[in-house]
Structure 1
Amino acid sequence: MIYTAGGTVVDRVEWATNKAKPAMARCGGDGTGAWVTTTTATTFGTANAPGCPATIPAASKVRINEVTSNGADTVELYNGGTSAVSIGTWKYVDGVTSSSTSSISSSSPSATSIPAGGYVTFNSKIGLGDNDSLFLIDGSGNTVDSVTWALDGAKPSDERCANGTGWFQTATTATLGGANSCAGGSPTPTPTPTPTATQPPTGQLLGGGGALTSGCTPEAPSGTGSTPAGTLPWPGGLDVTIADNVCAFTTSTGPEGRDVSGLVFDPSNPSALWAVKNKNWLFKLVKSGSKWIPDASWSATGKQIRFAGGSGQPDSEGLTIGGNGHIYVTSERDNSNNTVPRDTIMEFDPAATGSTLTPLRQWDMTSQFPQLNTGNKDDANLGFEGVAYVPDSWLTANGWTDPLTGAAYNPANYPLHGSGLFFAGLEWDGTLHVYGLNSDGSFTTFATISTGKASVMDVMFDAGTQRIVATCDNTCGETHTFMKVNAGGAIVPDVTYTNPAVMPIDNLEGFAIAPTSTCANGSREAVWSDDGIWGFGSGKSSYGHALYSGTFPC
């Protein structure tokens, strides 16, 4: 067996005498097929296919496809093969080796075979609870398949998405005896990457709970789309912790508690996490145990922000910290006139006193995006969704070509811009727009860069990976595209990762990775924000929470 540090079973395989000679390997799909005795030398470190027998046993196509721990404790098996499979001698067992096994044929209803392309359901005799596992064992004692679920249990069910092949996710409706609906956390789920031997499809969502407070109104996610081709599984830890108190961000201009969007760690003080709320509020957060809470020494309830002159209600979506330690916030529109775009970047001094902050400087790029100025509030809401400060030192060291000159970028050509450029992410089409923000209030427009995505919800520069990271929520399958400077001097996508599989598929609009100075045991913290505080929906421990915490490799 393999366990997480918290003791959760990740995967297990058992074999009988001589069965692992020359090896046991998953056949019928790396990481997804059934365990089969290989016929040739082992294939450690490479794909299993060359070592698999020419004819894969029909049993390799049988999967635990759905499971409930909601009263009846029902298990569904699916046969994705082209021939029936006899399961009369097969058994199932709870999550630990010492548990007693039960046979499928003696369960209710009894089942002795499963037809090609068909389903079998039976009620478990061993009792299935929260933080539990189920293992399917063939007549020879070999593990065929397994599933582990976490805090909320498999309620109403946990199901494979896509049906018969994908990772497990919590469903909103059980579909026992038929194809999985994959309606977990959103109307249409994100296609899930095929798990690999080094990235097992498991993980726990930890923490959460608490009753909704007055005025706290979670909002279901919308706009779900597909994951871009070539997306890789999350490279960090698979366990995720709910990292805030329930309904923690209610304010006078948004009492429903929703709309926490952009996130950024303070590079000079990585124990501080800054968050911005759409309806013109800025929060400085500090860690209290496993949760991020408002820093009472700065403001226990956040500070309201305004446009230059102290007017309006910025629809504040993204934020970053510049080389001068100031906070730069993007706005898409003025919420007091929300049918008109107002794509601006505002500079705030976090050391300023008072409960309301006004910008030291403000740069207005609205005229560059006439497609957003249609008189429609939804179009006006598709502007600057995120922003990242990218230091000149990175751009020059990596050989970025200045689009304005066609030569290597030379910061000295732009004496008023400070020590780096700002990359603003446009939700409308997923492009990044590069600006030099000058100290006299003017700005230089350098470039428009494609992220390869339909939309962008947050942007950050990560010194640890030396990459610009463009994040998209469920619109693009909950993905993060790491951007590099290629050999030709252009900034292009390098690699794209999805979120840990245990996380909900929501409007997760904010994403931040802690600096490498915080590394411990090879990992550092990653934090996400759920704009709608929906989690997995009403009645779930994640309902009403905005922040999630996981780990990313150092």
Structure 2
Amino acid sequence: MPTSHSRAGVASVCAATLTLSGMLLTGVLAAQPAAAADPAGYQNVRINEVSSNGSDTVELYNTGSTAVSISGWKMSDDSFSAQSFSPSAGTIPAGGFVTFNSPKGLGDADKLVIYTSGGTVVDRVDWATDKAKPAMARCGGDGTGAWVTATTATTFGGPNASGCPSSIPAASRVRINEATSDGSDTVELYNGGTSAVSVGSWKYVDGDTSHSAATISSSSPSATSIPAGGYVTFNSTIGLGDNDSVFLLDGSGDTVDSLTWATDGAKPSDERCANGTGWFRTATTATLGSANSCSGSPGGGTGGTPPGQLLGGGGSLTSGCTPEAPSGTGSTPSGTLAWPGGADVTIADNVCAFTTSTGPEGRDVSGLAFDPSNPSVLWAAKNKNWLFKLVKSNGKWIPDPTWSATGKQIRFAGGSGEPDSEGLSVGGNGHLYVTTERDNTDNTKPKDTILEFDPTATGSTLTPIHQWDMTSQFPQLNTGDKDDANLGFEGVGYVPDSWLTANGWVDPLTGAAYNPANYPLHGAGLYFAGLEWDGSLHVYGLNSDGTFTTFGTIATGKSSVMDVTFDAGTQRLVATCDNTCGETHTFMKVNASGAIVPDVTYTNPTVMPTDNLEGFALAPTSTCTGGTREAVWSDDGIYGFGSGSSSSGHALYSGTFPC
């Protein structure tokens, strides 16, 4: 069968006729730009939003982990006559956006093709009458989501979530799931929806703009419908080559999905990981017509190499690293909303990265906190009395070797015991505040404390500057049962006084507006400790003389709390629960009566495993790029999707959250 090749240049000018969904479109194939080297990561750039309502605006998004230069790039509409455009920036940062106004204008029923300066097709989107008004936008994940007509105002220059419809059409649940350019040139489609979708009249075309679109049914007569959760495969009659693409169009001529790869990217195949939802990677074995194996190297096709390793398959564990299966899975509370950030999540640590002398199995990472004074630092607490200072290296969070490559062990006051360290927060003074549930040397008894550590202290073992013991406040935990003792302080968040006073928080001790001056020894904020026992928050002023003030209890509306953080970006206090509450995050506000109450609750991204994800942190807004910032989760069981999956043995996951 014929094979298309890299479009590094078209030598002649010729007439072209393209038939799409009953429409006859004629145009002229203009000479493409002279051959030039394609920039690294070009296949990671995706058309993310386009409008034909007069502004004729186009948005490009970089799904990769490194910036991509778009200098000299061109675009064309249905005439395929490439034109230069003037982007808002000459380089698209990782996870960033660039916009431009089409120099040719875009029609009611039109298409848009983006080329590198060397003439290679980067991406393409087709739409039928009025489908790009107000805009056609990717919904369900910038750069990777389904193409739908936006239902509200356009979101050029930022994430598409606010412009997406609440319900994605059934046809848009169909995704290109795997493709091969090794001679068989086979394409696999997957239906991630809950009902069958008819695809007999659908068409596909490759990245060669001289090729006419072919119907799926003409390539595979039996490929007429895809059942819910099922697959359809067909062999491309127009061929698939190196540096090529597949564009899928529905019966109306609207683009449904696309895949672009560089040289040898689809050999033996390019596949989505996780199956049907994730990024593309080059597979080691094609699995056409069945679930993707997700064994191979990241970065073969669209989506490139996001930070870390992609979720979805093919991992191996080092000796002595033993995952722990999740326990206590419960239902998601009613009224919970979908994750507002990006749909894709990456593995953000090396396998078995947290092995220590008291926990060689490499699990039990719990509390997480970004350092507000240095957001390139992420602090982590491991249950078996260890702290880690993490920094980014090649897209992953690793122990900072200048602080300690293997973490630092912590003790109770006097240098005794092994604190069952769970929660972690950075105070206004830059010190680390850690919550404990027990002393692991006597784990049948609760020991609910908050410990203050100076991270600049030298040595491999840290002892607290102050220790505040609240154990007596929770007699229900002191039953002689180690499981009850393990349901104490699971998380802690430092909340600045400025937020409490600006929002009119009423001091439960006085019944009047909170006045920090009433508590001269407490510093510049209060500490909200989350109790795993019942999901309540307990508010404390931690005094410099070792005493503390108890400000009462706040209900989160959850049965349990695993982490607590104050997010300056949303101006909310966040109470996180793991699989016990359906992997949810409740953002809390001060209401009109001066009480702190739940505002909104979000689930995790759907691609996340349902594990004991006990830590959660949002990067400061100072790190925002393209309208998003990093969100990080920790799994204290390093279970991932189970044995043999790429996530097994890993503790950290990275995603995005709106700025």
TM-score by length of 1: 0.75
- 2:233 is matched with which residue? 123
Deviation at 1:547, TM superposition (A): 2.1
In structure 1, distance between residues paired with 2:170 and 2:625: 40
- 2:153 is matched with which residue? 45
Q: 1:267 aligns with which of 372, 376, 383?
A: 372
- 2:386 is matched with which residue? 281
Deviation at 1:305, TM superposition (A): 0.8
Q: 1:303 aligns with which of 397, 404, 408?
A: 408
The answer to whether the aligner puts 1:418 opposite 2:527 as a matched pair is no
Deviation at 1:156, TM superposition (A): 8.9
Change (3 A) 1:123 1:383: same
Q: 1:142 aligns with which of 254, 265, 281?
A: 254
The CA RMSD over aligned residues, in Å, is: 4.5
- CA displacement 1:219-268 (0-9 Å, x = unmatched): 23333333333333433444444322222110011011111111112223
What are the ranges of 5 or more consecutive residues in structure 1 without an aligned counterpart? 37-41, 47-58, 161-166, 171-175, 185-201
Change (3 A) 1:394 1:206: closer
The answer to whether the aligner puts 1:333 opposite 2:438 as a matched pair is yes
- CA displacement 1:193-235 (0-9 Å, x = unmatched): xxxxxxxxx9986433875322112223333333333333433
Asked if 2 retains the 8 angstrom alpha-carbon contact of 1:205 and 1:503, the reply is no
Q: 1:5 aligns with which of 62, 72, 80?
A: 62
Change (3 A) 1:447 1:79: closer
- CA displacement 1:424-445 (0-9 Å, x = unmatched): 0112222111011223322221
In structure 2, distance between residues paired with 1:495 and 1:325: 29
Asked if 1 retains the 8 angstrom alpha-carbon contact of 2:620 and 2:629, the reply is yes
Asked if 2 retains the 8 angstrom alpha-carbon contact of 1:206 and 1:240, the reply is no
Change (3 A) 1:256 1:411: same
Q: Determine helix, strand or coil for the equivalent of 1:336.
A: helix
Asked if 2 retains the 8 angstrom alpha-carbon contact of 1:236 and 1:552, the reply is yes
Sequence identity (%): 71
Asked if 2 retains the 8 angstrom alpha-carbon contact of 1:277 and 1:316, the reply is yes
Asked if 1 retains the 8 angstrom alpha-carbon contact of 2:506 and 2:513, the reply is yes
- 1:215 is matched with which residue? 320
Deviation at 1:300, TM superposition (A): 1.8
- CA displacement 1:112-143 (0-9 Å, x = unmatched): 457xx8786433435999xx998654444334
Deviation at 1:299, TM superposition (A): 1.6
Asked if 2 retains the 8 angstrom alpha-carbon contact of 1:88 and 1:113, the reply is yes
Asked if 2 retains the 8 angstrom alpha-carbon contact of 1:24 and 1:35, the reply is no
The answer to whether the aligner puts 1:20 opposite 2:125 as a matched pair is no
Asked if 1 retains the 8 angstrom alpha-carbon contact of 2:618 and 2:631, the reply is yes
Deviation at 1:339, TM superposition (A): 2.4
Deviation at 1:158, TM superposition (A): 2.3
In structure 1, distance between residues paired with 2:604 and 2:250: 33
In structure 1, distance between residues paired with 2:500 and 2:597: 13
Stretch of structure 1 that moved more, 95-104 or 493-502: 95-104
Asked if 2 retains the 8 angstrom alpha-carbon contact of 1:207 and 1:541, the reply is no
Q: How does 1:437-448 map to 2 (within 5 A)?
A: 437-448=542-553
Q: Determine helix, strand or coil for the equivalent of 1:395.
A: helix
Asked if 1 retains the 8 angstrom alpha-carbon contact of 2:146 and 2:257, the reply is no
- CA displacement 1:337-386 (0-9 Å, x = unmatched): 22222211111122222211222221222222233233332222221111
The answer to whether the aligner puts 1:290 opposite 2:433 as a matched pair is no
In structure 2, distance between residues paired with 1:340 and 1:99: 73
Q: Determine helix, strand or coil for the equivalent of 1:538.
A: coil
In structure 2, distance between residues paired with 1:492 and 1:521: 31
What amino acid is aligned across from residue 141 of structure 1 in structure 2? G
In structure 2, distance between residues paired with 1:70 and 1:345: 54
Asked if 2 retains the 8 angstrom alpha-carbon contact of 1:69 and 1:157, the reply is no
Q: How does 1:30-41 map to 2 (within 5 A)?
A: none
Change (3 A) 1:313 1:540: same
In structure 1, distance between residues paired with 2:132 and 2:459: 71
In structure 1, distance between residues paired with 2:492 and 2:621: 21
The answer to whether the aligner puts 1:452 opposite 2:557 as a matched pair is yes
Change (3 A) 1:128 1:548: farther
What amino acid is aligned across from residue 269 of structure 1 in structure 2? N
TM-score by length of 2: 0.64
Stretch of structure 1 that moved more, 339-348 or 286-295: 286-295
- CA displacement 1:314-341 (0-9 Å, x = unmatched): 1101111222222111011122222222
Q: Determine helix, strand or coil for the equivalent of 1:405.
A: coil
The answer to whether the aligner puts 1:90 opposite 2:206 as a matched pair is no
Deviation at 1:467, TM superposition (A): 1.7
Instruction: Give the total of aligned pairs.
Output: 497
- 2:222 is matched with which residue? 110
Q: Which has the higher Rg, Structure 1 or Structure 2?
A: 2
In structure 1, distance between residues paired with 2:210 and 2:609: 33
In structure 1, distance between residues paired with 2:526 and 2:378: 22
Stretch of structure 1 that moved more, 363-372 or 384-393: 363-372
In structure 1, distance between residues paired with 2:147 and 2:372: 46
Change (3 A) 1:80 1:481: closer
In structure 2, distance between residues paired with 1:242 and 1:141: 37
The answer to whether the aligner puts 1:373 opposite 2:478 as a matched pair is yes
Change (3 A) 1:491 1:149: farther
Q: How does 1:194-205 map to 2 (within 5 A)?
A: none
Asked if 2 retains the 8 angstrom alpha-carbon contact of 1:34 and 1:61, the reply is no
Change (3 A) 1:21 1:493: closer
What amino acid is aligned across from residue 503 of structure 1 in structure 2? M
Deviation at 1:44, TM superposition (A): 4.4
In structure 1, distance between residues paired with 2:304 and 2:146: 20
Change (3 A) 1:80 1:397: closer
Deviation at 1:541, TM superposition (A): 3.2
Q: Determine helix, strand or coil for the equivalent of 2:529.
A: strand
In structure 1, distance between residues paired with 2:304 and 2:535: 30
The answer to whether the aligner puts 1:403 opposite 2:508 as a matched pair is yes
Q: 1:232 aligns with which of 330, 334, 337?
A: 337
- 1:499 is matched with which residue? 604
In structure 1, distance between residues paired with 2:597 and 2:628: 26
In structure 1, distance between residues paired with 2:579 and 2:611: 6
Change (3 A) 1:168 1:221: farther
Asked if 2 retains the 8 angstrom alpha-carbon contact of 1:461 and 1:467, the reply is yes
Change (3 A) 1:121 1:329: closer
What are the ranges of 5 or more consecutive residues in structure 2 without an aligned counterpart? 1-46, 49-59, 65-94, 96-113, 115-121, 155-167, 181-185, 282-287, 295-302
Asked if 1 retains the 8 angstrom alpha-carbon contact of 2:175 and 2:257, the reply is no
Deviation at 1:552, TM superposition (A): 3.2
Q: Determine helix, strand or coil for the equivalent of 2:476.
A: helix
Change (3 A) 1:438 1:15: closer
Asked if 2 retains the 8 angstrom alpha-carbon contact of 1:133 and 1:146, the reply is no
Q: How does 1:317-396 map to 2 (within 5 A)?
A: 317-396=422-501
